[in-house]
Structure 1
Amino acid sequence: MKYALLIYDNEKNWALADDAARTEAYAQHGRFTAMLEERGAVRGGEELAPTDAATTVRDDGGGEFILTDGPYAETSEQLGGFYLVEAADLDEAIEYAKALPGAVVEVRPVVDHPAQ
């Protein structure tokens, strides 16, 4: 079953991080990705641009769309990236999430639609 590991953190901390801290964070994610690859579990993933680069599109219900700059929700932690993994079950997906370096990780099953 596929799971999305959604990574949340305070993006202000990332903006204030020095080069050494950023290099180490990327190295940690590289090691995490290598572990997933060894297990044949990685299906994708990407770092996301900061929330100030986001555009939110809302349907007003009447056929018109409202565009606003910024993220859908204002929170203290922002969605900064994700991994798409293959795991036998939720317990295995949670173990992967625990191995991610220092962040809040939401584990969410991906809906498996039958072939149409």
Structure 2
Amino acid sequence: MAKYMILIYGDAAQWDAMTEEQWQAHNAGHAAFAAKAGTRVLDGRQLENTPTATSLRADVHGQVHTTDGPFLETKEGIGGYYLLEASDLDEVLELAQLLPELNYTHSGLEIRPVVERG
């Protein structure tokens, strides 16, 4: 079994503008995903909006600098994630299609295999 990270991207302003009814439908979509994925979900969380992020970067002298917010200026930020264990990418793709972010034009998903060392 391999591990895969599903990164959930979207526009925080669009999420903040959702009505209570929209949030209920959105959360029901995540519940359906979690129910179908079952024990394949190792972890998953919603993240605070992008402006709450703190970025760290080292300069050419090895000095570490921190900045408020994400390093890249972008309209979409990471809003959450799931860590899954699955037999292959096709299994993850099938499950990921249940996620409600695919119902909005302002959000999307990125799936990456997790590197296992040692």
**Normalized against structure 1, the TM-score is what?**
0.89
Q: Distance in 2 between matches of 1:23 and 1:44?
A: 21
Q: Distance in 1 between matches of 2:87 and 2:46?
A: 25
Q: Distance in 2 between matches of 1:27 and 1:99?
A: 10
Q: Distance in 2 between matches of 1:12 and 1:76?
A: 9
Q: Distance in 1 between matches of 2:97 and 2:114?
A: 19
Deviations 1:44-79 (A, max 9, x none): 010000011001011113231111111122222211
Q: Which residue of 2 aligns with 1:33?
A: 34
Q: Distance in 2 between matches of 1:94 and 1:28?
A: 16
* CA drift at 1:26: 1.4
Q: 1:106 aligns with which of 71, 88, 110?
A: 110
Superposed CA RMSD = 1.2
Q: Which residue of 2 aligns with 1:75?
A: 74
4+ long deviations beyond 6 Å: none
2:101 corresponds to 1:97: no
Unmatched tracts of structure 1, length 5 or more: none
8 Å Cα contact 2:54/2:66 also seen in 1: yes
Deviations 1:6-59 (A, max 9, x none): 11111111111111111221121112111111xx31110100000110010111
Q: Distance in 1 between matches of 2:15 and 2:74?
A: 16
Q: Distance in 2 between matches of 1:23 and 1:16?
A: 13
Unmatched tracts of structure 2, length 5 or more: 103-107
**Normalized against structure 2, the TM-score is what?**
0.88
Q: Distance in 2 between matches of 1:52 and 1:98?
A: 28
Q: Which amino acid aligns with 2:71?
A: Y
Q: Distance in 2 between matches of 1:101 and 1:26?
A: 8
Number of positions where the alignment pairs a residue of Structure 1 with one of Structure 2: 112
